[in-house]
Amino acid sequence: VRCHSGARSFVGGGAKLGKPKVPNKLGPLLPERLVSHPRTAAALPLLGNAAYLSLAGGFLCTDVLSLRVLLVCGYTGLVAFHALHPRPLRIPFRWSAFFVVVNTGMAVMLFLDRVPPRLSEEEEGLHIDHFAPLTLKQFRALLDLGRRVTYSDGTELTHENESCHELYFILEGTADMSREGKFTSRLGRGGFPNWMSFQRTDWDPELEVPNAYGTIHCRGKVRCIVWDRKELQDLLDSDMRQRMKNVVTESIVRRLLSTPEGANVQDYIG
C-alpha cells in the first residue's frame, strides 16, 4: 500500500514538474490568405535562393555602387522571404529591413557623388580649354571656392619680393609682369599670376609663402577668379593637387608656344 501510495505521489509530483510550453502566439506579418496560399509556399524557395544569389553577387563586385545595389536587392528579397512565412522569424526580418535602409542610403549617396555637376556654357568652355585635367566635380568645387573680381587698369596683383596669399586666374584682359623695373612678359586669358609662390611650398599651409618673382599689374580692365591660399589648400587633396599642377603646367606651355621668339621660362612662371 505504501509503495502504491508513493508511486501515486511520485506520478503526481512529476505531472506538476512537466509544465506544457506556451505556444508561440505571433502570427504572420501579412494576411493569412496570402501567406497560406499554395503559390506563395511554392515561390518561397525561389525567392530565398534569389535573395542569397544577389547578396553573393554583391560581395563579388569591385564597383562599390553596384555592390550596394545588389545588397539592396538581396536584403529586400530576404525581407519578403521572411514576411511571407506563416510564422516568420522576427529578428532576421528586422535586421534584413535595417540593411535595406542602410544600403539604400549608401547607394543614393554614391549615385549623387557620380552625377556630373551642372555647368554653364561659359564654365564648360573654361573647363575644356584650361582645366581639363580636373574632373567636373573638382572643377565645380574650385569655381565655387573662388570669387570673381574685375580689376581696373594699373591694379597691382603681385609686387616683386613681397609675399602674396592669393592665386589668380585671368578670365579676360591682360596683365604685364616686370622685374627690377623692366618688362618681362605678358599674361592673358588662362594665365596664373603668382602660381610659383604656391608651387614652391608644395601647397603646404604651414610654410611661409615665398616672395613674388616680379611685379604684375593690370593692363586695362582684367577679370579674374581669385582664391585665398589657405582655403584653396584646404580644398586640395593629393589627387586634386597633382591635377592642379598639371593645369598650370599646361597654361605655362601654352604661353611659351604662343611667344614668337625665345623667352626666359622663369619670366613666364611668375
Tell the residue number behind the cell numbers 549623387, with chain if given.
112
Segment 114-168, tens digit of pLDDT = 888 888 888 999 999 999 999 999 999 999 999 999 999 999 988 888 877 888 9
Confidence of residue 258 (pLDDT cuts 50, 70, 90): low
Predicted pLDDT of residue 264:
52
- On whether the CB atoms of residues 214 and 137 are closer than 8 A, the answer is no
Q: Cα(149)–Cα(168) distance, rounded to whole angstroms?
A: 10
What are 132's three cell numbers? 581639363
Q: What is the mean pLDDT of residues 228-233?
A: 85
Q: How does residue 191 score in pLDDT terms, banded at 50, 70 and 90? A: confident
Global pTM value:
0.61
The contacts of residue 192 (CB under 8 Å, 6+ apart) are 167, 168, 169, 170, 248, 251, 270
pLDDT-derived band of residue 1, with 50, 70 and 90 as boundaries? very low
Q: Residues 8-35: pLDDT tens digits? A: 444 444 444 455 554 556 778 888 888 8
Going by the DSSP 8-state scheme, the letter that residue 226 receives in this structure is E
Whole-number pLDDT of residue 22? 47
Euclidean distance between CA atoms 164 and 201, whole angstroms: 13
Confidence (pLDDT) at 11: 46
Q: What one-letter code names the amino acid at 42?
A: A
Highest mean pLDDT of the ranges 32-36, 101-105, 264-268: 101-105
Nearest partner of 192 among 162, 206, 213, 221, judged by Cα:
213
Output the nine-digit C-alpha cell for 45: 524557395
pLDDT tens figures, 164-182 = 788 899 999 999 888 888 8
Residue 9 CA, distance from chain mean position: 76
Is residue 210 very low, low, confident or very high in pLDDT (cuts 50, 70, 90)?
low
62-90 tens-digit pLDDT? 999 999 999 999 999 999 999 998 888 89
Q: For residues 49 and 72, what is the distance between their CA atoms, to the nearest angstrom?
A: 15
Q: What is the DSSP string of 115-167?
A: SPPP--HHHHHHHHHH-TTS-HHHHHHHHHHSEEEEEPTT-EEE-BTS---EE
Q: Give the separation between CA 82 and CA 88, rounded to whole angstroms.
A: 5
Measured on CA atoms in the order 256, 191, 218, 160, is the torsion positive or negative? Answer: negative
